[in-house]
Every structure is written in structure tokens, then in C-alpha cells.
Amino acid sequence: MGPQPSDAIIRVRDITVQFGTNRILDGLNLDVKRGEILGFVGPSGSGKSVLTRTIIGLVPKLSGSIEVFGVDLDAADARARRAVERRWGVLFQQGALFSSLTVRQNIQFPVREYLNLSQRLMDEITIAKLGMVGLKPEVAHRFPSELSGGMIKRVALARALALDPELVFLDEPTSGLDPIGAGDFDELVRTLQRTLGLTVFMVTHDLDSLYTACDRIAVLGNGKIIAAGSIADMQASQHPWLRQYFHGKRARAVMG
Amino acid sequence: MNGDPTLEPIAQGNGLALCAAGPWIARFAPDLERIVADAEKLAGSRPNIFIDVSQVSKLDTFGAWLIERLRRSLTQGGVEAKIAGLSVNYSSLVDEVRRVKATPAPDASPVSITGMLDQIGRSVAGVGATLVSLIDMLGAVLAASGRVLIRPKGFRLTSTVHHLEQVCWRAVPIVVLITFLIGCIISQQGIFHFRKFGADIFVVDMLGVLVLREIGVLLVAIMVAGRSGSAYTAELGSMKMREEIDALRTMGFDPIEVLILPRMLALVLALPILAFLGAMAALYGGGLVAWLYGGVDPDAFLLRLRDAISIDHFIVGIIKAPVMAAVIGIVACVEGLAVQGSAESLGQHTTSSVVKGIFFVIVMDGVFAIFFASIGM
């Protein structure tokens, strides 16, 4: 491991993202610390996914800087970028599984690209990953079009975890899962974080996830982080949207 | 402890300790697999083998699985193997991989003679199924047209005009350009060869008959099949993939009426227009080359053209256009609705839409040729 300045695995500074004249992110700052699970919330359409995609490099930004693992992604050359990309995994909202490949091939796709493993080991690891996300080995031969929505999410997570990344981006991981499945998923994220020392950046709307899985919560509003801190800090906040979010009917139901 | 991962066998009394050390992570997986394979040979050599992982600096799924694989093969060798010195951090990961079952069966069945015969049989049967589905679609479109005629409010004018713009208006430049060039080439080739026996002027006859009866409409139909047929298939196919067509159905709309009828109608109107424009462009191109290259001046060209062709030639050509348009449209729509869930399937059906579209256009042209010959037109 190289030097770890201030322990921030992601450092986002003053980024501005604009689509046409519509400013989505406006001078946003955010730190994600090593080993934490950061829950990222905000109203629909506030740009949570845009921020995720900007950090991963899928959306161009107008200004600002992004450092991941201490590497400035704008200054990095293609080699350095690839090295960073190999260390993170991304779970897209719709799964984004390759529709022409089977589940097994989907999970092995990044492994095949980055590591030179025997087919036997790859198959065994595939089964292990499927087991980790709560799927049976038989699923391995199916195509994405033959899977249910929840299974697609799980397979996509297995693919995101295929290379045992240090950092994973989860875009609404529990949406579309039944409550038990979602609870298992939170538990799974927790387990993986403990065992692999994983850092998790999770965009979510699931209050259960926020309570049970997240160490820290950041709230996006008006293109900026309006609050960041523990769940207790969020509940104490006087911000109107936060009050509604954490003291609304659903929040009370979650808290019992 | 940042060097390479290692696995040292150390004798302990009558037992054997396999001491794993270093980073057991994905990056070193190929080395680790070899180390583990070597260690597996030790199975049965001692009555009591255990794996000591207390010196492992880093562990991920790959490392944990390889340790588990080693443990299993040592156990299968008749001795009970244990994992010792596991830190709390990694115990849940090791527990996780311990639950992994045996290796899966391979994906596809291997290639065999029976498999190939099976494939051939299926493709042959598929030809019949294709014809049936085309006739099925033709019937559905005609039934939908009937319903629209009875209840004209169900007709989607906006959609039809939109598709008419896409397949007709926007296709004009490329269609005119290509037919113009083809006209030029026919004329040049004709003059070049006819000049040898002093029959230059007959190039006008050839150009007129060929362009108006055959080439004009056939070429334009092939272009439209490639340009608009493929677009229809891709549009309908991606709508099918995203369940948009199912959504329409559940809201009580008929996808044939809403999606396919406007497209078919636009195509049936567009192709005669494009075929006419194409024929004119080809004649113009041919005339231009005849004048500049063959020395046939425009007045002579027009005079000769008027003698050479009659309105019959034009009618024979243009009457084929809407029929070909219908064939292209039906093939494209059938293929679009046959798309399954994957991007690969969308690609396959778009390809086969164009291939089948062009094939049926040429077949229709042949059928028309026989028909017109027998009625003496």
C-alpha cells in the first residue's frame, strides 16, 4: 500500500456538472473514508446517479477534481486509470449485465481480462461469488434475459465483486428486491466490508439500508452536499427535507 | 509481509503444518494455484495435517477459496485437515467459501454430428415458420386496417406523417444520388459497347426500359429495405426488449394498430414516390452521360426516349413499388417483434430483416416479371 493521505479513498473537490444549461452538481465536495459504507441519499432527480457516474468517469465534469485511491483521475494516464478501475467495482441501477453472455461468462469477464487464471479456478470462484450474493450454482448457465429483477441485481453485484475490489459503487442496490432479500443484501454488504476491508459508496433510498448497513450518510440537495454524518446527526438535523425523510411515516415505521 | 505468498510445510510431531504466509489475493492467484496444487500432493503423507494461516497478511475470495480447496483435497485424502490461526476478520470469508459446492457442469454441449443435424433440421423447419409468421402478420395488418376504416378515429395520423418523413423525405437525397449514378453507369457502359457496332442511339431504349421497368424500383426497394426495414426492426425490437409493447397491450391498445400500421402505411406511400424520383434521377444521369460522353444531345435523347418507351413501362415499374414496400414492412415488423431479451438477438433480427427483405423483394420482382410477360405488358 502506498501513502494514504487523510484516509480518504475518494476525494471530490468543487465539481460542477452541467447538462446544457441545467446545472446538476454545483461545487460539490465529498470525502469517502477507507473502509466505511457511505449511504448517499437525496430527492429523486437531485443528481445522485450523476455524481456516481462522474466519479467513475462516465459523465464529463465542467470543473473540479476527483481523486480515487490518491490518484487524480484527470491527470492520470490510461495505465494508471486502468489500475484504478481494476480496484473498483460498479453495480449499475439496472444491473447492466451483458445480455449476450451467460451469468457465468458475465462474472468471469473482468477476471479473464485482468488475471491469468485456470478455467477451473475461475469456475470455482464464480460459484463462490454466486453463493456470496445468495444465488445457486445452477443460475450460472442462464442468460440475463432469463433472470428475475432481483437475480439480475445479485448477479450484477457478483460481477462487481469479481475481482475482489477495494471500493464498490452501488447504485440503488436494494431497489426491486423483496424486504427479506434487501435485508440479506445489506447484511452481505456488511459482511463483505468486514472481510474484504471494502469501502462502499451506496446510492440508496432504502431507509432500512441506511439504518442497518451504513456507517455514514451524505445528503445531496441543490447540487451540493447539504449534510454528512451518522444516522443520529441526520435525525437531529433541522433541514426540512431531512426532517421529512427521517421523521416521515416510513421512517417511523422502520424505527418501530 | 509484502512479498510473494508462500506455503511452507513444517513437520510437527507426527503431524504436518502447512504455514501460509504473505498476501493471498487475486493478483497472485496463478502462483497460489500452483502452490496449492503442489501442497495437495502431500495429502496422506502424514496422519495429521493442518493449515496454519496466522501469517497471511491479506486474504480475499481467491485466496480463501484456494485454502478451502487445499483443505478439501487434504480431507478427501483420508486425513482430517483443519485450518488454524484464522483471524476474526477473515473467518466469515472462509466460512463463506466453505459453503461453496462442487464445480458446475460446462455451459454448452460439445459439438456433435447429431447436434449439427439438429441445427439443420431446425433451420429448415424455420423456413416454414417464417412464411407462416409473415402471412400471420399480413393478416393482422389487414385486419387492423379494416378496423381503422370502420373507426377512423383509431388512425394515427401524426405517427404516419412522422414515419413518412423518416422513410420518404429523409431518404430522398441518398436515393436520388445513387440512382443518378447508376443511370450514368448504365448509359456509359451501353454507349461503350453499342458503339462497336454503331448502335449508340439504342442506349436510350435500353436506359428507358431498364430504369422504368426494373432497375429504378428494384434498386430503390433494396435501399429502402436496408435503410428503413432495418430501422423498423431495431425500433420495434428495442421496444419489445423494454416491455413497451407489453405496456401498450395492457393499456388496451393494439400494437399492430399503434406501431405497425403507421409504419406500413408510410412505407407503402413512400416507396412509389422514391421509385419515381429514383427513375427520374437515373434517366437524368443517363441522359447527361449520353450527351457528354456519347455525343447524343438532349433533344435527340428526349425524342428517342419518347419513341422507345410507353406509359406501360412506367406503370409496370411503379405498380410493383407498393407491393414491395408491403413485403419489406411486414418482414421488418415480424423480425422486430421476434426480438428476445438480448442485444445479440436484436442484432440478429435486424440483420435477418434486411436479408429477408431484399430476398423477398427480388422474389416479388421475379413473380411480377412472369405476370407481366404473360399478360403481354
Range of lowest pLDDT (A48-62, B14-28, B100-114): B100-114
Give me chain B's average pLDDT, please: 87
Of A124, A164, A191, the CB nearest to B103: A124
Euclidean distance between CA atoms A71 and B347, whole angstroms:
39
What is the structure's pLDDT at B261?
93
What is the structure's pLDDT at A105?
87
Chain A hits for B246, CB-CB cut-off 8 Å, are none
Instruction: Tell me whether residues A115 and B340 touch, CB distance under 8 A.
Output: no
- Global pTM reads 0.71
Chain A hits for B343, CB-CB cut-off 8 Å, are 98-100
- Per-residue pLDDT at B73 exceeds 80: no
pLDDT band at B1 (very low <50, low <70, confident <90, very high): very low
In percent, the amount of chain B with pLDDT more than 70 equals: 93
Chain B hits for A132, CB-CB cut-off 8 Å, are 61, 96
- Per-residue pLDDT at B231 exceeds 90: yes
Q: Which residues make Cβ contacts (< 8 Å) with residue B203, sequence separation at least 6?
A: B187, B190, B191, B194, B286, B290, B294, B296
Instruction: Tell me whether residues B90 and A195 touch, CB distance under 8 A.
Output: yes
What is the structure's pLDDT at B154?
81
Mean pLDDT of B125-145: 92
What is the structure's pLDDT at B85?
77
Phi, psi of A11 (to 5 degrees): -125, 115
What is the structure's pLDDT at B2?
54
> Which stretches of chain B sit within 8 Å of chain A by CB?
25-27, 29-30, 33, 60-62, 65-66, 69, 89-90, 92-93, 96-97, 99-101, 103-105, 107, 340-345
pLDDT band at B18 (very low <50, low <70, confident <90, very high): confident
Chain B hits for A138, CB-CB cut-off 8 Å, are 104
Euclidean distance between CA atoms A64 and A224, whole angstroms:
13
Q: Which amino acid would we find at residue A66? A: I
Euclidean distance between CA atoms B342 and B255, whole angstroms:
21
B158 CB burial (10 A radius; 0-12, 13-18, 19+)? exposed
- Per-residue pLDDT at B105 exceeds 70: no
What is the structure's pLDDT at A51?
87
Helices (H) and strands (E) in chain A, counts: 10, 10
Which of B42, B45, B38, B41 has the alpha carbon at shortest distance from B6? B38
Burial A98-109 (b: 16+ CB within 10 A, else e): ebbbbbbbbbbe
Mean pLDDT of B51-59: 79
Range of lowest pLDDT (A168-177, B165-174, B277-286, B308-317): A168-177
Q: Could you give the ipTM of this predicted complex?
A: 0.74
Of A100, A104, A116, the CB nearest to B30: A116
SS3 sequence of chain B: CCCCCEEEEEEECCEEEEEEEEEECHHHHHHHHHHHHHHHCCCCCCCEEEEEEEEEEEECHHHHHHHHHHHHHHHHCCCCCEEECCCHHHHHHHHHHHCCCCCCCCCCCCCCHHHHHHHHHHHHHHHHHHHHHHHHHHHHHHHHHHHHHHCHHHCCHHHHHHHHHHHCHHHHHHHHHHHHHHHHHHHHHHHHHHHHHCCCCHHHHHHHHHHHHHHHHHHHHHHHHHHHHHHHHHHHHHHHHCCHHHHHHHCCCCHHHHHHHHHHHHHHHHHHHHHHHHHHHHHHHHHHHHHHCCCCCHHHHHHHHHHHCCHHHHHHHHHHHHHHHHHHHHHHHHHHHCCCCCHHHHHHHHHHHHHHHHHHHHHHHHHHHHHHHHHCC
Alpha carbon of B246: minimum distance to chain A alpha carbons (Å): 16
* Higher pLDDT among residues B286 and A138, named by residue: B286
Chain A hits for B70, CB-CB cut-off 8 Å, are none
What is the structure's pLDDT at B133?
92
- Per-residue pLDDT at B159 exceeds 50: yes
pLDDT digit string (tens) for chain A, length 256 residues = 334 445 788 888 888 888 888 888 888 888 888 888 888 888 887 888 888 888 888 888 888 888 888 888 888 888 888 888 888 888 888 888 888 888 888 888 888 877 878 888 888 888 888 887 778 888 888 888 888 878 888 888 888 888 888 888 888 887 777 788 788 778 878 877 877 778 888 888 878 788 888 888 888 888 888 888 888 887 787 888 888 887 777 766 666 5
What is the structure's pLDDT at A255?
61
Q: Which residues make Cβ contacts (< 8 Å) with residue A189, sequence separation at least 6?
A: A37, A170, A173, A198, A200, A202, A213
